[in-house]
A and B are shown apart, each in its own frame.
Chain A
C-alpha cells in the first residue's frame, strides 16, 4: 500500500484498535473473535482482561470450556447444565452488587467459546441467538444503564451441525451480521510463511486441519521454515462504524512476555510496520533504480547518453520525402571488409 496511506492508517487505525481493546467509549458492543486451532484466542482474551484490569472494568467470563477461573476475572459463570436463560440470569446477578456500589463502572463480558451452545442438543428449538446475546448488552430494565461490551469467541474449525430448519441462517452468519467488530486471528509465523510464498508467486501453504493429512490436527510448529523467530498473533479487524463505513486493518499483537502487565502504552502495531512482514529493504525509495550487478558495465556515461540521443534512426528519415531516405530505400555504406555482391546491387 502507498506510504502516504500508511501514516494515515498508523494514526487512525492504531487509535481504533486501542479503543476497541480497551473498551473505551463502548466503541464495539459486540465483538466477534474468530479463532482456530492454529491461533487460539487465549492470548487475545488475556489481553482484553489485562486492559480491563488497568482501567478497572468489571470482567465476567462465561465459561463454556474453561475449567478454572483465570486471573483477573471478577466473575466466573460456569455454564454446565444451564439453559441460556439461566446463564443470562446469572450473568446479570453477578453484576448486581457491583452496579449497586458503583453504577458508572463499565463491564466486559467474555464468552470463551460459543460453539458448545450452538451445537448443544439440549437447547430448545426456540433459542434465539440474537436475543440471547442482546440480553447481555442491553439489560431489560431501562433504569439500570450498563455500559457493557460483549466479546464472543467462535472456533472456526469446529464444524457446525446441520440446521434445525433449513431456511434459517447458520449461526456464524447471524453472528457476523450482528457484530460491530469482527476479529479474525492468524498465527504470525503462518502469515509470514504465506506471504513468503505469495512473494514468489507460489501457492500459499496451509496448516493444521487444512492440510487434510490424516492424523494431523495442529500444524503449528515452533520453527517454520523461512519465518525466523516470529512471535505474536495477527489480528485481522473488521470494524463497522456507526455511520456504516467499515474499517479493515491487520495488526500484530506481540506475545505477553514482551511487556509488563502494567504497560500502559499501546503495544499493538500495524502488521505492515513489522520488520519481519515488511522488511525495510523493500521500502527503500531508491531501490527501484538500482542496476543489476554484473561484471559488465551496463551503464552509460553522460557523453554516451548525449550521443545516443543524437543518432537519427533510419525510419525517421523515411517519413519525409525530402530526406536522404527517399521513401524507404535501403541505404548501405560499404565497409572496406565487405564483399561487393553484384546480384544484390541489381535488385
Chain B
C-alpha cells in the first residue's frame, strides 16, 4: 500500500492555521479514537513545510514558529512519542528545542510517589474515597499526608535542560491532583500555565502557541460533583487555559451513554452522565469547529476505520470567517498512515 502523506490534503485546512483564541473540539467514541487526529494537529503545527526537510530546519518556516503544549490525561508520553515518530516527528528533540512540551496528566494524577524512602499512603486529596481505607502499605506512625507538595517542583523540575531524576525525559511536568473543588483545579491550571509561560518566554512576535488537551473529561469523571467539580467548573478551567494559548484543541468522549442518557432517562441519569453531557455540549457551543469521529453507520469495513464529520460550532464567528462543513471517511493503515477521503472515493 502506498504510504500516505502525513497530513491528508482533505484534512489540512481544518487542522492548520487555527485562528486566534479559537477552540476546536475533537469528539471520539470507543470505536473511533481521536489520537490519530491529535497527531495530525501536532504534525500541522510542528513539522516543517517541506516533507523532506530534516527536523532541524523547523525554525525558518514562513515567519511564524509554532509551539505546542500537549496535556494528556489518557495516554502516556511513550505512546505519543512512538506514534509521532511514525509521522516523522521527534518529540524528544522538539522538546529540547522548546518547541514542544508534554504535560503528563496520566501517570501520577492521583498518585504521588514519595521521593524519599518515607512510606506513605497516597494522596489524602482523595479524601473520604474508599481508597484511603485500603492503604498500599501500612503507614508507620503519622501519615505525612499531602505536605510534600512544595517539594514537588524540585523533583519533577520545571522543564528545561536539567531534567532531574525523571526516568522519562521530555515530560515537562506531571500533574498531581490534590484537595478538592476549585482549589485543586486552580493548582492544575497553575502547573499547566507555568509550562505554557515557559514556552512563551522563548517566543518571538508572531509565534503561536497551540494548546492540546487530550481528554480532560477524565478529570471530571474521576472527581465529579461530590468533590465540587462539575461541568461549569471544568469549562471555566478550560476557559482559563484558553487565555494562555493562541488556539486550543480539546478531545472529549461522546459515547452514547455519556451524552444521551442525561436527556432521555428523565432525571434518572447518574451525575457523571449529566455532567459529562453538560460539559461536552457546553463546550461545543463555544467551539469554533467540532470534529466528530464515529464508526461507520453500516458496520465494520475492512478499508474504512470510521467517519469524520467536521461541523461549525456555536462559537464560530460566521461573519468573519467561513468554515466548510464536511463529512469524510478515514482509514488508518497498518503503518500509521491515515487516508481521508469522501464517500464513494478511495
Query: Which A residues have a C-beta under 8 Å from some C-beta of B?
Result: 35, 37, 40-43, 46, 65, 67-68, 80-81, 113, 115-117, 119-122, 155, 157-162, 209, 212-218, 220-222, 255-257
A-chain residues with CB within 8 Å of residue B230 when the two chains form the complex: 119-121, 161
Known: A116-B235, A121-B230, A213-B297. A162 touches B324 (CB 8 A): no
Let me know if A37 and B29 touch, CB within 8 A: no
Interface majority SS (helix, strand, loop, mixed), chain B = mixed
Residues of A within 8 A of B239 (CB): 65, 67, 80
Select which of B260, B293, B325 is within 8 A of A209 by beta carbon.
B260
Kindly specify which of B88-96, B153-161, B278-286 makes contact with the partner chain: B278-286
With beta carbons under 8 angstroms apart, the residue of B256, B312, B318 that contacts A214 is: B256
Besides A37-B314, A214-B254, 7 new A-B residue pairs in contact (Cβ under 8 A), listed by A number: A46-B319, A65-B239, A122-B232, A161-B274, A218-B284, A221-B327, A222-B325
B263 at the interface (CB under 8 A from A): yes
Q: How far is the CB of A53 from chain B (nearest CB, A)?
A: 14
Q: How far is the CB of A324 from chain B (nearest CB, A)?
A: 73
Q: Is the CB of B274 within 8 A of A65?
A: no
- Asked whether B32 is an interface residue with its Cβ less than 8 Å from the other chain, the reply is yes
Cβ-based interface call for B228 (8 A): yes
Say how far A189's CB is from chain B's closest CB, in angstroms. 11
Central interface residue in B225, B232, B254, B297, by most chain A CB within 10 Å: B232
Determine if B242 and A65 form an interchain contact, defined as CB atoms under 8 angstroms apart.
no
CB distance B256 to A159 under 8 Å? no
Q: Are B233 and A122 in contact (CB under 8 A)?
A: yes
Q: How far is the CA of A68 from the CA of B19 in the complex (A)?
A: 13
How many angstroms from the CA of A35 to the CA of B263 in the assembled complex? 16
Q: What is the distance, in angstroms, from B204's C-beta to the closest C-beta of chain A?
A: 23
Query: B233-250, CB under 8 A of A: which get 1 and which 0?
Result: 101100110110000000
Whether the pair B259, A209 counts as a contact (CB closer than 8 A) is yes
Inter-subunit contact A215/B281 (CB<8 Å): no
- Decide: A161 near B294, CB < 8 A? Known: A80-B240, A214-B29: no
A219 to chain B, nearest CB (A): 8
Interface, chain B (partner A; CB < 8 A): 21, 23, 27-29, 32, 181-182, 225, 228-233, 235-236, 239-240, 242-243, 254-256, 259-260, 262-264, 267, 269, 274-275, 277-278, 280-282, 284-286, 290, 292-295, 297, 307, 309, 311-319, 324-327
A65 to B242, CA, bound (A): 11
Contact A220 B311 (CB under 8 A): yes
Residue contact A37 to B233, C-beta cutoff 8 Å:
no
Our pick among A40, A67, A119 for the contact of B314 (Cβ within 8 Å) is: A40
In the bound complex, CA of A218 to CA of B326 (Å): 12
- Do B293 and A159 touch (CB < 8 A)? no
> Which B residues lie within 8 Å of A115 (CB)?
278, 282
Asked if A42 contacts B236 (CB within 8 A), the reply is no
The distance from the CB of B180 to the nearest CB of chain A, in whole angstroms, is: 11
14 contacts between A and B (CB under 8 A): A37-B314, A65-B282, A115-B278, A116-B235, A116-B236, A119-B232, A155-B285, A159-B281, A212-B264, A215-B32, A217-B292, A218-B292, A221-B326, A221-B327
Contact of B27 among A67, A161, A215 (CB under 8 A): A215
- In-complex Cβ contact of B285 among A40, A119, A213, A215 (8 A): A40
> Contact between B294 and A159 (Cβ–Cβ < 8 Å)?
no
A42 in contact with B316 given A119-B232, A213-B297 (CB within 8 Å): yes
**10 closest pairs, A vs B, by CB?**
A215-B294, A40-B314, A159-B262, A218-B311, A214-B256, A215-B29, A116-B232, A120-B232, A256-B319, A121-B230
Contacts of B32 in A (CB 8 A): 215
Interface centre among B21, B242, B254, B319 (most CB of A within 10 A): B319
**Contact between chains at A159 and B274 (CB < 8 Å):** yes
Is the Cβ of A119 less than 8 Å from the Cβ of B278? yes
Bound CA–CA A214/B254 (angstroms): 7
Q: Which chain A residue lies CB-closest to B277?
A: A159
A154 to B17, CA, bound (A): 31
Report whether A214 and B294 are in contact in the complex, using a CB–CB cutoff of 8 Å. Answer: yes
Closest residue of chain A to B28, judged by CB?
A: A215
Indicate which residue in B232, B235, B274, B281 contacts A157 across the interface (CB closer than 8 Å): B281
When distances are taken between beta carbons in the complex, the residues of chain A under 8 Å from B233 are 120-122
**What B residues does A157 contact at CB under 8 A?**
263, 281
Provide the residues of chain B in CB contact with A40, threshold 8 Å: 285, 313-315
A162, B29: Cβ atoms closer than 8 Å: no
Least CB distance, A213 to chain B, in whole angstroms: 7
- Residues on B with beta carbons closer than 8 Å to the beta carbon of A257: 319
Determine if A67 and B243 form an interchain contact, defined as CB atoms under 8 angstroms apart.
yes
Chain A residue contacts of B294, Cβ below 8 A: 213-216
A14 to B324, CA, bound (A): 32
B263 touches A159 (CB 8 A): yes
**Distance, CA A40 to CA B287, complexed state (A):** 11
Chain A residues near B243 (CB-CB < 8 A): 67
Task: Kindly provide the distance from the CB of A282 to the nearest chain B CB, expressed in whole angstroms.
Answer: 30
Considering only CB atoms, which chain A residue lies closest to B280 in the complex? A217
Find chain B residues with CB under 8 A from A117 CB.
Answer: 232
Residues of B within 8 A of A119 (CB): 230-232, 278
Nearest residue (CB) in B for A208 is B311
> In the bound complex, how far is the Cα of B275 from the Cα of A162, in angstroms?
10
Question: Could you say which residues of chain A place their CB within 8 Å of the CB of B225?
Answer: 121, 161
